[in-house]
Amino acid sequence: MPAGARHRAMTEAGGDERSSWSRALGVISAIGPPVTVATALLFYFGWARAEAQAAQMGLNVSLFGYAVQDYILISINALFLPLVCILAASVVWLAVDRWLRRRIEEGRGRALILKAAGITALLSGLLVGVSLVLAVVEPARTALFTPYLMALGVLVATWCMRLRRLGRTRTSPALSSEQRAVETTLILSIVTLLLFWGTADYAQAVGRRLALNFEQGVQYMPRADVYSPKPLGIGSTAVTEVRVGDGDGTLYRYDGLRLLVLSGGRFFFLHDGWTPRDGTVIVLPDDNSVRIEFRR
């Protein structure tokens, strides 16, 4: 093979390799931030829910010794349906965005699309403003949905403005790559903060409701009989102490306990008739100092 042909072949191979790396990096940069934000939201929701639930029960969340994966697992049950809806809406939005961009580039209905995009951007900005006012004036009534409405308004307004910008590229200069990067970073930062705001309020409401639900559902929790060679000194009047056996084999059995959770190497028990107002949470170590029998 001539030297020139060999050089061209090596150059093309190097170009293909660089293009493959560029495509891979592009995919990672596109997928990485959303996945990171979603993971952070799951963790934050789990922590906020557990913290509100523990506070409603008169405890500190640190007593449960939850790990990062525990907080994420706590979140999945409550956020599974909202995340599926968001992903489905994103797929629909991508399809609509491609269709509108193709029509704008081909000049079919461009004026109508740009006019509709402008009106929608104004309405989205109005939605953001009204939601912000409601969040300040009536935080107790609107905290669960105003952050999400503001995030939706910011996203829709940004999308509409980009559609209008695409339709006016012939009459106005396009933004540079640095300007687009700064704009995207600012918009995503605002939306992320709004999502964390909304997630905190929603998680706290869920956590408080779960703590209150224990009052109605404590009788359905697993019943636990605790045996100990020494008196445990449980102060709740709903828990009865029964002495079993005589001599060196004497054991103390405690009845009326209901298992709440096993976490951080400790058992957390409620008792029959427990309420968030005057109930007691009993904490025992998960070791050989006690024997626990569970039953329905």
Are 29 and 133 found together in one domain? yes
Token pair for 31 = 């997928």
Are 80 and 111 found together in one domain? yes
Domain count of the fold of the chain:
2
Q: Could you list the residue range(s) of the whole structural domain that residue 249 is in? A: 221-295
Are 143 and 248 found together in one domain? no
Are 211 and 228 found together in one domain? no
Are 195 and 280 found together in one domain? no
pLDDT of residue 29: 54
Mean pLDDT computed over 251-267: 91
pLDDT of residue 157: 95
Are 279 and 137 found together in one domain? no
Given 216, 235, 252, the domain boundary residue is: 216
For 25-78, write each residue's pLDDT tens digit. Answer: 555 555 656 778 888 888 999 999 999 999 988 888 988 889 888 899 888 888
Any idea what the Cα angle at residue 181 is, between residues 93 and 174, rounded to 5°?
A: 85
pLDDT of residue 244: 87
Percent with pLDDT over 90 in the chain: 32
Are 203 and 237 found together in one domain? no
Are 92 and 212 found together in one domain? yes
* β-strand pairing of 223-228 with 291-295: antiparallel
Are 51 and 85 found together in one domain? yes
For 87-112, write each residue's pLDDT tens digit. Answer: 899 899 999 999 999 988 888 888 89
CB 238 within 8 A of CB 220: no
Given 164, 185, 216, the domain boundary residue is: 216
Average pLDDT, whole number, for the chain?
84
Given 197, 216, 235, the domain boundary residue is: 216
pLDDT of residue 39: 86
Are 197 and 276 found together in one domain? no
Are 92 and 56 found together in one domain? yes
Q: Which of 51-65, 119-133, 177-191, 242-256 has the largest mean confidence?
A: 119-133
Are 125 and 235 found together in one domain? no
3 state SS for the chain: CCHHHHHHHHHHHHHHHHHHHHHHHHHHHHHHHHHHHHHHHHHHHHHHHHHHHHHHCCCCHHHHCCCHHHHHHHHHHHHHHHHHHHHHHHHHHHHHHHHHHHHHHHCCCHHHHHHHHHHHHHHHHHHHHHHHHHHHHCHHHHCCCHHHHHHHHHHHHHHHHHHHHHHCCCCCCCCCHHHHHHHHHHHHHHHHHHHHHHHHHHHHHHHHHHHHHHHHHHHHCCEEEEEECCCCCCCCCCCEEEEECCHHHCEEEEEEEEEEEEECCEEEEEECCCCCCCCCCEEEECCCCCEEEEEC
For 152-208, write each residue's pLDDT tens digit. Answer: 999 999 999 999 888 876 556 666 777 777 888 889 889 989 989 988 888 998 898
